[in-house]
């Protein structure tokens, strides 16, 4: 849980907040996320997700496309002594990470956002939160 702001440097290094490091572990997986952000998963969550993705039918075009896109940029990130990860260029480009970033905790993963993109998305969600909450009834929440 939580929202933290850090800057990515020119070498693609980004500080992972101390609050997230314990749950993520020393090594974790980062890949393309939805809505223009990156998803970061602890190894155990990544393995559980892989198990589900392996069950997708190869005969479905959307399933093949999703799995290709999701896996092709996935990378194992290792925290350095300063608590930073080094993100590869395809992931930086996907999330349009230039300088200011926002890292948020979302259940069992983290999301890494460009600050401006996060603020726009967050503002849109806040504006529509009541109707979004109503739709959660469909998911038995």
pLDDT digits (tens, 9 = 90+) for 38-53: 999 999 999 999 999 9
Q: 45 CB contacts (<8 Å, ≥6 apart)?
A: 108, 109
Q: Which tens digits make up the pLDDT trace of 23-82?
A: 888 999 999 999 999 999 999 999 999 999 999 998 999 999 999 998 999 999 999 999
Instruction: Find the helix or strand (DSSP H, E) in which 12 lies.
Output: none
Do residues 84 and 15 make contact, with C-beta atoms less than 8 angstroms apart?
yes
Do residues 113 and 101 make contact, with C-beta atoms less than 8 angstroms apart?
yes
Do residues 78 and 26 make contact, with C-beta atoms less than 8 angstroms apart?
yes
Asked if residue 137 has pLDDT above 80, the reply is no
Tell me 101's DSSP state. E
What dihedral do alpha carbons 95, 96, 101, 104 form, nearest 10°?
Answer: -20
Name the token pair of 72: 């092709």
Strands 109-114 and 100-106: antiparallel
> What architecture does CATH give domain 3-114?
3-Layer(aba) Sandwich (3.40)
- pLDDT grade for 140, boundaries at 50, 70 and 90: low
As a whole number, the mean pLDDT across the chain is: 92
pLDDT for position 96: 96
pLDDT for position 141: 56
Return the domain boundaries, the chain.
Answer: 3-114
pTM value? 0.90
């Amino acid at each position: 849980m939580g929202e933290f702001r850090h800057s990515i440097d020119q070498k693609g290094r980004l500080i992972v907040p101390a609050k997230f490091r314990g749950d993520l572990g020393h090594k974790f997986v980062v890949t393309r996320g939805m809505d223009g952000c990156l998803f970061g998963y602890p190894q155990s969550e990544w393995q559980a997700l892989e198990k589900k993705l392996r069950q997708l039918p190869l005969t479905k075009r959307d399933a093949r496309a999703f799995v290709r896109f999701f896996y092709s940029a996935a990378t194992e990130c290792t925290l350095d002594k300063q608590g930073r990860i080094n993100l590869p260029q395809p992931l930086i480009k996907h999330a349009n990470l230039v300088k200011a970033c926002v890292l948020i905790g979302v259940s069992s993963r983290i999301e890494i956002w460009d600050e401006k993109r996060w603020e726009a998305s967050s503002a849109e969600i806040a504006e529509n939160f009541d109707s979004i909450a109503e739709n959660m009834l469909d998911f038995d929440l």
